Amino acid sequence: MNKILTSTLIAASLLSACGEKNHTHVQQESSEKSWSISNFEQGLPTEFDAGNTKSSLVNKNAPEGKQALRIDFSSDELRSDFSFKAKKPWDWSQYGNINLAADIHNLSDESIQIYLEIKDATGWPHIRSVSIPAGYTGTYYALLKGPQLELDSGLREDPKTWQSNDHKMFWMRGAKQLKLDQISSINFFVESMKNDKSLLIDNLRVRQNPDVDANYLKDLTDAYGQSYKFEYPTKVKSDEQLKALADAEIAQLNQQGTMADRSQFGGWASGPKLKATGYFRTEKVNGKWAIVDPEGHLFFSSALANIRIANTTTFTGVDFKDDSVRYIDPEDVTPEDSLGIRPVSKEAQKTRYVSSEMRHKMFTWLPDYDHDLANHYSYRRSSHKGPLSHGETYSFYQANLERRYGEDYPDSYLDAWRDITIKRFKNWGFTSTGNWTDASFYQMNQVPYFANGWIIGDFKTVSSGQDVWSRMPDPFDPEFKRRAIITAKVIGEEIKNNPWCIGIFVDNEKSWGNNSSLQKRYGIVLNTLTREDSDSPLKAKISQMMQAKYPSIKALNTIWKTDIESWASFSKGISITDLNAGVVADLADMSFAYANEYFKIVHDALADVAPNHMYMGVRMAAWGLTTEAANAAAQYADIMSYNFYREYAHPKAWEFLADLDKPSLIGEFHMGATSDTGLYHPGLILAADQQDRAQMYKDYMYSIIDNPYMVGAHWFQYLDSPLTGRAHDGENYNTGFVTITDVPYQEMVNAAKEVNANLYQRKFGNGQQN
C-alpha cells in the first residue's frame, strides 16, 4: 500500500474520533503527522464550550491559516476556562505515541500561564502548564503517550526527548497515562490573574511523536550540578570564577550593609511605636493586622523559606547492601527530607553497588570516595516518590559552598554560608527567614526567624481520600499527643526562649480536604465512618458524639434519612452516600471536632515549652483547606498560615479572612522559569524568564502587603532545586533566589530590594501603591 493511500485512510478514520467533520487533515510539513481537532477555518466545532471566557473567531494574526479562536480571560474570575467536550469519547489509542499540540499567540503585554487539563471517561485529569511570553507565538504540546511517560526518572520534569522549536508543556499533576480510547474533554484554564489577558489558539491537533533520543537522560549535570547541555547567564565555568563571584558579592554586601529604616529586629524604625513586650506579638493597628517586634515596632515578615542544606541532595543511583544504613529510630522527630548530610561509613561503602544505571548516568561527574568533595555524599533512607525508595545522594549545593568559600577549618564554608546569607537578607531588605530555617541560625541573633517541627511516629491515622504527602494523624490516639509533646520539647530546647524567634510552625500542608465538593470537604469523617470504633479513635469519638446528640438510632435515622439498624451497627462501620442537609450538619460538627483536637494538642504542647512565642499553625495548602479546619485553627493559632501558589493573591480567594478576622501569613509561594536557567521545570507558577519572574514576584508581594489581614509572605525557597530532582520527590524547580552554585539571580534581588525598601510605608504609611 503506498504512503499517500495510507495517510488518507488514517485521516479518514479520525473524522469521528476527533469530532470535527471535514476538518481533519494530515500535516506533512517537517515530517509531522497530525490529526486535527479544530483549525477553526470553518467555524467553531460543536464540541467547543466558551465557559466563563469571552470567545470569538478572528482572522487577524491567526497563527495558522486564515482564522483562529480568540479567548479573552477576565481577571475578575478566580478561574477562567474554555473547553472542547466530546459528544462521545474520542479514541486516540490507535495513533501510537502522541502529543496534543496547538499554535498559540499571546495577545497580552504580560506573560500568561495557561493550564491544559485532559480527562478520560474515568474523570482522571492530566494537567500540564506553560508560560507564554508577552506577544509571543509558538507551538505548544503536551506529551500523552510514549516511553517517557512509562519511565519514572526521579525528575518532576524530564528533558525534551526530541529537539525542536516547539515548547513542551510542563507536567503538573494528575494521571500521566490516560485511557486514550476514552478521552472526554480538553480544557484550558487560567487562575488568579491580576490583569485581563487574551490569546489566539489555532490548529489544535493530535500528532505523532518523533523518535525518542536514547540519551535524553544521560549526562545532564556538570561537575557543579548545573546543566551540562545548555548555556545560560548564571552558569559557572570554573572554581576560580565561583570564588571571584563570591569575593565581589561579599565586598558589595559589606559596603552596602543593611537596608535603611529598620529596627534591631527588622521592624519599621521610624514608624509608630507600640507596646514592647520583649517578644514578637500581633496587634490590629488602624484596621490592619500587624506583627509587633520585641521593641514595639511595626513588623511585616518578608522572607525566603527553606534556608537549610537539608533537601539539597539528589539520588546518584548508588546504594549499599549493608542494611545498617537504612535503620530509622522510631523515636526520631525529624522526617527524612529535613535531615542534613548523613555520611555513610567506610565499612558500608565497601558494599556499594549501582542500583539505577539510569540515575547514575545522569551525572558527568561525581567524586570518588577519597576526593576532597566526597564529604557532600549522604544517604536517604526513604523518599516520598520516585523510582528509588532509598539510596546514596549528593549535595552539589553544599559542594559548591566549599568551592565558593573554601575550608579553613572543618565545615568553615557552612559558617561562611550562614554569614553571607544573613548579610544578603539584611541587604536585600528581608525582615526574617521563613519556615524551615536551619536551627544553626537560631542563636545567631541577627535575623528574626520561625522555628519548626513535625509530629511523626507510630500513631493511628485517618484518610481524607486526597492524601498528598501522607495520611492524616488521628489526634484522638494518645500516641499522637505523646509525640506532639516530644516534638514541642525539642523545639523549645532549640529556641531557648530566644526573642528573635517570631513563632513556630508545626507540620505542613496537611490533607484536610477542600471545599470543592461535599465529598472532598468531609472526606476524613466520611472515610472514618466506614471503620470500626475499635480500630479508629476518631471513629470512637464520632460514635460518642452522635449518641450524645441523638437519644436513639431511630432519631438519627430520621434526621439522616438512613436505616442503620443499631448503635452497634453504627460502631461497626457505615457508609453514607446521601449527603442531605441533616447528614451534612453532623459531618460539619465531626470535621470541626477532628481538626479542633489536632490544633488544641499542638497548641497546648507548644504553650508548655515556648509560652512567649506565637503558634503559626500548619501552613494550609490551597488544595487542602476546609472551612472546618480553618475555623478550628483560628481557635488556637496566633497567626493563620497558608501556602498559596498562584501568580497573584486574588482578593476573591481571601474573602473568608474577614470572617476569621485573624492575622494571616503566606507560608509559601514562588514563580520560576526555564528559558534562562538550564533547569527542566520552572516550578508551580510559571514565568517567561527571570525578568518576568521578578515582576510577578513584585505583583504577588504587593497583593499581600495591601491585604489588611496579611502580616507576612514567604517565598519558597532560598535556592534552586537540584537539576536532577531533590531526593524527596524529584522536584527540579527554578525556585531559588540563588542558583545551585549559590549565585544570586540579580533580577530577583533587584525586585526584592524594590519591594522591601517601600514595605512599611506601603503597609502602614502613605507609600505609593503600584
Q: What DSSP string runs through 33-58? A: -EEEEE--TT---TTEE-TTSEEEEE
Checking if the pLDDT of 58 tops 90, the result is yes
pLDDT in tens, 334-349: 999 999 999 999 999 9
What contacts 545, CB < 8 A, 6 or more positions away? 589, 590, 593
> Can you tell me the mean pLDDT for 203-209?
96
Confidence of residue 31 (pLDDT cuts 50, 70, 90): low
Of the candidates 478, 453, 473, which has an alpha carbon nearest to the alpha carbon of residue 462? Answer: 473
Q: Residue 431: inside a domain, yes or no?
A: yes
> Can you tell me the mean pLDDT for 677-688?
97
Of the candidates 441, 341, 334, which has an alpha carbon nearest to the alpha carbon of residue 718? Answer: 441
Checking if the pLDDT of 564 tops 60, the result is yes
Distance CA 539, CA 530 (A): 9
The pLDDT of residue 63 is 79
Examine the domain organization and report whether 248 and 147 are in the same domain.
no
Distance CA 373, CA 402 (A): 8
pLDDT in tens, 686-722: 999 999 999 999 999 999 999 999 999 999 999 999 9
Q: Please name the residue that has the C-alpha cell 526573642.
A: 499
Distance CA 554, CA 475 (A): 30
Q: Which CATH number do you get for residue 759?
A: 3.20.20.80
The pLDDT of residue 770 is 40
Q: How far from the centroid of its chain's Cα atoms is residue 175's Cα?
A: 17
- Asked if 722 and 225 touch (Cβ cutoff 8 Å), the reply is yes
Distance CA 613, CA 607 (A): 8
The pLDDT of residue 62 is 77
Distance CA 37, CA 48 (A): 10
* C-alpha distances in Å from residue 149, one per residue of 97, 99, 166, 175: 10, 11, 19, 10
Examine the domain organization and report whether 190 and 247 are in the same domain.
no
Q: Which amino acid is at 289?
A: W
Q: Which amino acid is at 245?
A: L
Checking if the pLDDT of 481 tops 90, the result is yes
Examine the domain organization and report whether 122 and 99 are in the same domain.
yes
CB atoms under 10 Å from CB of 321, counted, come to 11
Examine the domain organization and report whether 348 and 426 are in the same domain.
no
* C-alpha distances in Å from residue 127, one per residue of 116, 142, 172, 174, 176: 6, 9, 6, 6, 8
What contacts 275, CB < 8 A, 6 or more positions away? 283, 292, 296
> Which grid cell is 566?
443499631
Q: Residue 552: inside a domain, yes or no?
A: no
Average pLDDT, the chain: 93
Examine the domain organization and report whether 433 and 389 are in the same domain.
no
Of the candidates 452, 444, 451, 455, which has an alpha carbon nearest to the alpha carbon of residue 420? Answer: 444
Q: Residue 656: inside a domain, yes or no?
A: yes
Task: Output the 3-class SS for 244-255.
Answer: HHHHHHHHHHHH
CB atoms under 10 Å from CB of 231, counted, come to 10
Examine the domain organization and report whether 190 and 336 are in the same domain.
no
Examine the domain organization and report whether 195 and 48 are in the same domain.
yes
Q: What is residue 436's three-state secondary structure? A: coil
The pLDDT of residue 769 is 44
Q: β-pairing, 664-669 with 640-643?
A: parallel
Q: Residue 388: inside a domain, yes or no?
A: yes
* C-alpha distances in Å from residue 259, one per residue of 302, 427, 433, 582, 757: 13, 5, 15, 57, 7
Q: β-pairing, 501-506 with 281-285?
A: unpaired
pLDDT in tens, 597-610: 999 999 999 999 99
pLDDT in tens, 569-600: 999 999 999 999 999 999 999 999 999 999 99
> Can you tell me the mean pLDDT for 738-766?
96
Examine the domain organization and report whether 198 and 113 are in the same domain.
yes
The pLDDT of residue 123 is 87
Q: Residue 510: inside a domain, yes or no?
A: no
Q: Residue 241: inside a domain, yes or no?
A: yes
Examine the domain organization and report whether 252 and 127 are in the same domain.
no
Maximum CA extent, the chain: 88
Distance CA 217, CA 160 (A): 9
Helices and strands (H, E) in the chain, number of each type: 19, 32
Alpha-helical segments (H) within 19-63: none
Examine the domain organization and report whether 338 and 416 are in the same domain.
no
> Can you tell me the mean pLDDT for 129-146?
97
Examine the domain organization and report whether 11 and 87 are in the same domain.
yes
Distance CA 738, CA 235 (A): 12
Residue 635 sits at φ, ψ, to 5 deg, of -70, -25
- Asked if 584 and 518 touch (Cβ cutoff 8 Å), the reply is yes
Of the candidates 477, 448, 417, which has an alpha carbon nearest to the alpha carbon of residue 742? Answer: 417
Domain count, the chain: 3
Residue 313 sits at φ, ψ, to 5 deg, of -90, 155
What contacts 659, CB < 8 A, 6 or more positions away? none
> Can you tell me the mean pLDDT for 45-59?
94
pLDDT in tens, 297-313: 999 999 999 999 999 99
Q: Residue 661: inside a domain, yes or no?
A: yes
Q: Please name the residue that has the C-alpha cell 480544557.
A: 187
The pLDDT of residue 60 is 73
Last residue of a domain, one of 354, 377, 394: 394
* C-alpha distances in Å from residue 560, one per residue of 108, 222, 579: 52, 63, 8
- Asked if 592 and 635 touch (Cβ cutoff 8 Å), the reply is no
Q: Residue 571: inside a domain, yes or no?
A: no
CB atoms under 10 Å from CB of 89, counted, come to 18
CA atoms within 13 A on the CB side of 21: 2
Q: Which CATH number do you get for residue 120?
A: 2.60.120.430
Last residue of a domain, one of 394, 414, 435: 394
Last residue of a domain, one of 332, 367, 394: 394
The pLDDT of residue 378 is 98
Q: What is residue 588's three-state secondary structure? A: helix
Rounded to the nearest 5 degrees, what angle is found at the Cα of 358, between the Cα atoms of 721 and 169? 50
Examine the domain organization and report whether 321 and 305 are in the same domain.
no
What contacts 611, CB < 8 A, 6 or more positions away? none
Checking if the pLDDT of 2 tops 60, the result is no
Distance CA 642, CA 621 (A): 6
- Which residues on neighbouring strands pair with residue 664, listed in sequence order? 640, 710
Q: SS3 breakdown of the chain: % helix, strand, coil, rounded to 5? A: 30, 25, 45
Look up the domain containing 363 and give its range: 316-394
The pLDDT of residue 420 is 98
Q: What is residue 288's three-state secondary structure? A: strand
